[in-house]
């Protein structure tokens, strides 16, 4: 198996799993729960681990950190695009109240932190500019790539298996 074959296969699976997870959050109304949002990163870590395992089993049994990073980042890019396109379509065409619910949840969190009304209004005016379906897709993919790089690096450190014959 090549890096791209492995990443494509597991990227598609990751995208599908993230779509199902996001759909469950949207339908249940739990998409504003920050703790549940972090579960995506656990899903990514597990999928990167499984992709690394498959790459080693399908090849010569070895994988460098660079190969692990390549697999993981391509996997995350593919999965992130699939998930973001789904979220865009869902928010744009199925339930356009999601953005309003996110804005309200953000306002409540600011009030709980003790911010005064002027501070909240100022922050909300900036926040609302970035809460469009298009901006959510852009920042969703960029955020996944950034945090995904860290996750992939950590997983790669544990799953790497250098070929002793290839080392100098």
pLDDT tens, residue order, the chain (168 aa): 899 999 999 999 999 999 999 999 999 989 888 889 889 999 999 999 999 999 999 989 999 999 999 999 999 999 999 999 999 999 999 998 888 888 888 888 888 888 888 888 888 888 877 888 888 889 889 999 999 999 999 999 999 998 888 765
Is residue 165 domain-resident?
A: no
Residue 152 falls within a domain, yes or no? yes
- Yes or no: say if 47 and 17 are a contact pair by the CB < 8 Å rule: yes
Which residues constitute the domain of residue 122?
3-159
User: For residue 22, is it within any domain?
Assistant: yes
Q: Which residues of 5-38 are buried (b: 16+ CB within 10 A; e: fewer)?
A: ebbbbbbebbbebbbebbeebbeeeebbeeeeee
Tell me if 167 is assigned to some domain: no
Q: What is the Cα–Cα distance from 14 to 53, expressed in whole angstroms?
A: 15
pTM, two decimals, is 0.87
- Read off φ and ψ for residue 161, nearest 5 degrees: -145, 100
Q: Is residue 164 part of a domain?
A: no
48 falls within a domain:
yes
Give domain status of residue 139, yes or no.
yes
User: Is residue 168 situated within a structural domain?
Assistant: no
If one counts the domains in the chain, the total is 1
Q: Are 109 and 37 in contact (CB under 8 A)?
A: no
């Amino acid at each position: 198996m090549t890096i791209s074959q492995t990443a494509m296969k597991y990227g598609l699976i990751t995208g599908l799993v993230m779509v199902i997870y996001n759909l469950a959050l949207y339908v249940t109304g739990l998409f504003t729960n920050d703790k549940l949002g972090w579960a995506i990163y656990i899903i990514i870590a597990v999928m990167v681990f499984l992709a690394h395992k498959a790459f080693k089993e399908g090849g010569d049994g070895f994988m460098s950190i660079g190969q692990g990073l390549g697999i993981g980042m391509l996997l995350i890019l593919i999965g992130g695009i699939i998930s973001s396109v789904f979220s865009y379509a869902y928010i744009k065409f199925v339930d356009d109240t999601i953005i309003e619910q996110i804005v309200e949840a953000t306002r409540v969190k600011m009030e709980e932190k003790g911010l005064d009304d002027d501070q909240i209004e100022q922050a909300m005016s900036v926040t609302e500019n970035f809460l469009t379906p298009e901006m959510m897709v852009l920042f969703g993919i960029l955020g996944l790539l950034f945090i995904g790089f860290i996750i992939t690096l950590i997983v790669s450190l544990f799953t790497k298996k250098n070929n002793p014959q290839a080392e100098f």
